[in-house]
Structure formats: structure tokens, C-alpha cells
Amino acid sequence: MFLFKLTAFGWLFIIVLIFTLVTSYKLASLWFGKKERWFFSGFIFLVLGCINLLFVVFAIGVAGMNYKILKGTPYTGLIIDAKAYIDGTSSKTRKTYYRPIVRIKDNKGKIIDVETDISSSSPPKIGSQLDIVYSPNQVGQNNDTKGWLFKLVGSVFVIICGLLSYKATKYAFTAKPNYSLTKYVN
């Protein structure tokens, strides 16, 4: 059955979609009469849906990056090689990407070669240094320690979208109906 094959992200998407649908209808019910309610609830659903999905996507992305970085140990390593892989399904979109392989010395003095999850369309410069975060127990390292700009922008988006979503939801479920906006529709 379809519903049993969904991932956690699929279920989260469905929950956000239903939550947004209910909140949009409540907001349209507060602002518009029965005649205009359905049209404007669609518009409100579109705007509020974008805000809620941006909130969820950025919250998961920023939290995931921070979790991986906090769980690992930062190292400065030497790029010794690069692993090439091809991404894309058709010949027009197929492109070669490269992941650097970095040699680090861990806390015990053991030399470890780590394939990072940092990809680029140009091969990395062999012999250059790269700052990574490494944890031997963690698969799928988040090796980029310089992603502060994404974290900053993502955190700002999370705060803004979260506040907008919170305010819209609080207003939708606590305010009394006010049909004053219907005079602008007619």
C-alpha cells in the first residue's frame, strides 16, 4: 500500500500539507464570506504552504549540518586524491563531479584517508589543505567546516518562516471572524 511506503520526510510533508490546508481555510473563514472563502483559501494555501515548507526544509538542513559538525572532530587534512563520479540520467544532464580524498591524522596518531562528501565539478587541487569534520562512527560525513554562510542564511530563514507560520496559525485559531476584507473584493 502507498501510505506504508512513505519515508519520514514523506509523512512530514503530508502533515505540513494538511496543517497548511486547515490553517488556510481558517484564515479565509476569518477574512472572507462564504462566497469568496474558497477562492482566497487557495491563495492563502499557496503563500502559507511556501512559508511552511521553507521552514521545514531549512530547519532540517541547518539542524542536520549542525548535528554532524557537533558530533565530529575538526581536522585539517591534505588532499591526496579525488574520486570521480557521474551524476545525471540523460546525456544532456550527465556531468562528472569530484570528491576529494583527504589524509588526516586522528587523535591517536593513526593516519586515515577520508572520502569527503564535498562535491565539485572541477577536480580538487592535489596537495592542498582542506578543513573537515570526521567521526569514525558516522557514515556520510559533513566535511565542510566553512559552510557558515549557509547556516547563517538558513538560520535566518528558519527564524523568519517559523515566526510567520506561528503568527498565522495563532491568528487563525484564536481570532474572531472579521469580514472587513470582503469590501475590497467586490
pLDDT score, position 3: 58
pLDDT score, position 80: 92
Query: What digits encode the pLDDT tens for the residues 18-74?
Result: 988 888 888 888 887 777 777 788 888 888 888 888 888 888 877 776 666 666 777
**Span 129-145, average pLDDT:** 66
Q: How far is CA 50 from CA 19, 28, 45, 46, 75, in A?
A: 13, 17, 8, 6, 38
3-state secondary structure (DSSP) of residue 45: helix
Q: How far is CA 25 from CA 19, 34, 40, 47, 67, in A?
A: 10, 11, 9, 13, 36
- pLDDT band at residue 158 using 50, 70 and 90 as cut-offs: confident
Residues in the chain: 186
**Span 92-107, average pLDDT:** 85
Helix (H) or strand (E) holding 59: helix 34-71
pLDDT score, position 147: 62
**Span 156-170, average pLDDT:** 86
Q: What's the whole-number average pLDDT of the chain?
A: 78
